[in-house]
Structure 1
Amino acid sequence: MTLNKQRFSGSNFDFNLSKSPIIYAILNLTPDSFFDGGVNAGIDNVFQRIEQEMGYGAAIFELGGKSSKPHFDDISADEEWGRVEPYLKAIQKRFPNIILGLDSNTNEVIERGLKSGIQIINDIDGFNSDAKLQLVQQYHPSVVTMFNGRNFDEQPDTLLKTMTDFFEKAIGNLQSAGLSKSEIIVDPGVGFSNHNTLEFDIIKMKAIKELTKLNTPVMTAISRKSFAKRLFGFELEDRLIPTLLFEAYMISLGGGILRVHDVKETRELIETFNIFKDELM
């Protein structure tokens, strides 16, 4: 076992992922997100959460103004940005050194976020348009490019190749737009299949090892997702333990960036993993 030896870098940050995985905290500002919809209502509540999760070791906070759960209801760019903008400005004022990501696949929202100082863009569609690539070239953010199985005819026997072909093309396009590999995270997209089957999710989790060969940072983004329900019948409130166990497995394969809801517990997982990582390598 080896940790991904890549760095993840960008505007005012540089993380050595071979030293330790990092925590990428989810901060949904939507009323309908699958796990924490409506939880972060109110600036003071968000401030308190950020302060607490910084103390637990969160390195990055990602704002999201639109749910991307299966069969989500799309909204306008204005409504999506209207959910994000007041929090973004307040957070930047209160925490001037914070590293912020934006979870959006909407061109107008991505551009507004970049103009407002967002450092990382997470696109569930993997920057699959010229318009998005032009924004990357113009503003030079770091990015998370995800494999969205809803955009593909996924087949179990060919899924790994479909994913790697997609990522090779996406990375090439992003490099042509001016990014280095240390500025590009790949995310296999667990939970983003048309049929939302356990089989596809397991393939994507196991794919971490192969994806490290792309020589980019690899994201583990499985927090509280429905694979735990399909495996064990667990509802949302009971999915923490399987999430942590599968995250530990994915870290061991090279997933160096953990996108999570449960920051405190993830910190404890990483500290435990780091005690034994030299024995595992």
Structure 2
Amino acid sequence: MMLQCRGQLLDLSTPKVMGILNLTPDSFYDGGKWQHREQVIAQVQQMLEDGATFIDIGGYSSRPNASPVAEEEERQRVVPIIESLVDYFPEILISIDTFRSSVAEAAVHAGACMVNDISAGLLDAQMLPTVARLKVPYIMMHMRGTPQTMTTLTDYENIVTDMQYYFSERIAAARALQINDVLIDPGFGFAKTLEQNYEVLQRLELFHFHKVPLLVGVSRKSMIYKILQSTPQEALNGTTVLHTVALQKGAHILRVHDVKEAVECIQLLQQFR
């Protein structure tokens, strides 16, 4: 499995790690933590040194019931930081985490090389045409509704089957616009109950049906800390356990808060195999 990104051809037969950089005051784990340019550069440098292949930058919290953010505010949160990071780390591969086409376009012009969209283009009709014009890889996630409504939209006839239809339709829409590099993300925690999250994880290998790279984001999520009756801050060990399961089921990219531990997980499983 190969991925073309910023002139590089990346071989995903060895899984890669995407480090999370939330430039939001209200993200569920690290909200408000990275407010100054020097802090951001230091954090990104550490993630890159720890082995991150991608850095995923977002300016709109997508946790359940998060407050909406104005489009211009989201743009102002991410674009200057992307510009600074590209200046400081010229080879960096930045993913912009947004469902808004205008933010995606501004971020790519600033130096991002991938778009990570929680809505797979369903919250902005211009997203797919914009990505097609920008000619960058596109991560499409499974979600219903919006971050404000998704917890009420968990009624599925068969969740995995419904998700397969969803991805088939969204991939076809992307291919029709000649978006070549498409990745899928099952969207753990998005419009899914605790039990549904684990059902999707248990059957994760079925998503290889689409023959595109599979990204998994479970890092420190409530599907871990609610089971363990703990907190996001205490969920690193549980995250590593679920990363191991996801890798064994063929995940190509892990989207994580803790890069070093995820890289070690990949290294040990590669040796085991």
TM superposition score category, shorter chain reference: over 0.9
Residue 51 of structure 1, CA deviation = 1.6
SS in 1 for 2:17: strand
C-alpha distance in structure 2 between counterparts of 1:16 and 1:208, whole Å: 21
The alpha-carbon deviation at position 127 of structure 1 amounts to: 1.6
In the TM superposition, residue 224 of structure 1 has moved relative to its aligned partner by 0.3
Structure 2 counterpart of 1:144, from 139, 142, 154: 139
Equivalent residue number for residue 172 of structure 1: 172
Find the partner of 1:185 among 183, 186, 195.
183
User: 2:252: which partner in 1?
Assistant: 256
The whole-number CA distance in structure 2 between the counterparts of 1:122 and 1:55 is 23
Q: CA deviation at 1:45?
A: 1.3
Task: Find the aligned partners of 2:157 and 2:84 in 1 and give their Cα distance.
Answer: 47
Query: 1:93-121, CA deviations, whole angstroms, 9 ceiling, x for partnerless residues?
Result: 11111101000012221221223232111
Partner Cα distance (1:88, 1:261) in 2? 18
User: How much has 1:79 moved relative to structure 2?
Assistant: 0.5
Is contact 2:115-2:131 (8 Å) kept? Answer: no
The TM-score, its normalising length taken from structure 1, stands at 0.91
| Structure 1 residue 53 corresponds to structure 2 residue 47 | yes
Whether 1:80 aligns to 2:74 is: yes
| Deviates most, 47-56 or 235-244 | 47-56
Contact 1:150-1:192 within 8 A present in 2 as well: no
1:157 Cα deviation from its structure 2 partner: 4.6
* In structure 1, C-alpha distance between the alignment counterparts of 2:4 and 2:202, rounded to whole Å: 25
Map 1:114-133 → 2, pairs under 5 A: 114-128=108-122, 129-133=124-128
Equivalent position of 1:66 in the other structure: 60
**Equivalent residue, structure 2, for 1:265:** 261
Instruction: Name the residue aligned to 2:210.
Output: 214
Which secondary structure state, in structure 1, belongs to the residue aligned with residue 140 of structure 2?
strand
Higher RCO structure (Cα 8 Å, ≥6 apart): 1
Q: 2-side partners of 1:127 and 1:11: how far apart?
A: 22
How far the C-alpha of 1:8 sits from its partner, in A, is: 2.3
Contact 1:136 1:177 in 2 (8 A): no
1:135 is matched with: 130
Whichever residue aligns with residue 144 of structure 1, its letter is I
Contact 2:95 2:116 in 1 (8 A): yes
Residue 53 (structure 1) shift: 1.5
**1:141 shift after superposition:** 1.2
TM-score by length of 2: 0.93
1-side partners of 2:209 and 2:3: how far apart? 15
Query: Are the aligned partners of 2:2 and 2:9 in contact in 1 as well (CA < 8 Å)?
Result: yes
Q: Is the 8 A contact 2:54 2:93 kept in 1?
A: yes
| 1:69-111 deviation line (CA, Å, top 9, x unaligned) | 0001111111111111221111111111110100001222122
Query: CA offsets, 1:172-197, max 9 Å, x none?
Result: 111111122xx11100000101xx52
Q: After superposing the two structures, state which structure 1 stretch, 151-160 or 45-54, moved more.
A: 151-160
Work out the CA distance in 2 between the residues paired with 1:256 and 1:245. 16
Q: Percent identity?
A: 27
Distance in 2 separating the partners of 1:15 and 1:274: 17
Cα pair 2:154 2:193 within 8 Å, conserved: no
1:38 aligns with 2:35: no
The question of 1:8 aligning with 2:3 is answered: yes
Partner letter of residue 106 of structure 1? R
What one-letter code is carried by the residue in structure 2 that aligns with 1:204?
A: V
**1:225 aligned to 2:221?**
yes
- Cα deviation for residue 156 of structure 1 reads 5.2
2:130 partner amino acid = L
Once structures 1 and 2 are overlaid, which stretch shifts more, 47-56 or 139-148?
Answer: 47-56
> Secondary structure of 2:227's match?
helix
Tell me if structure 2 keeps the 8 A contact 1:189–1:204: no
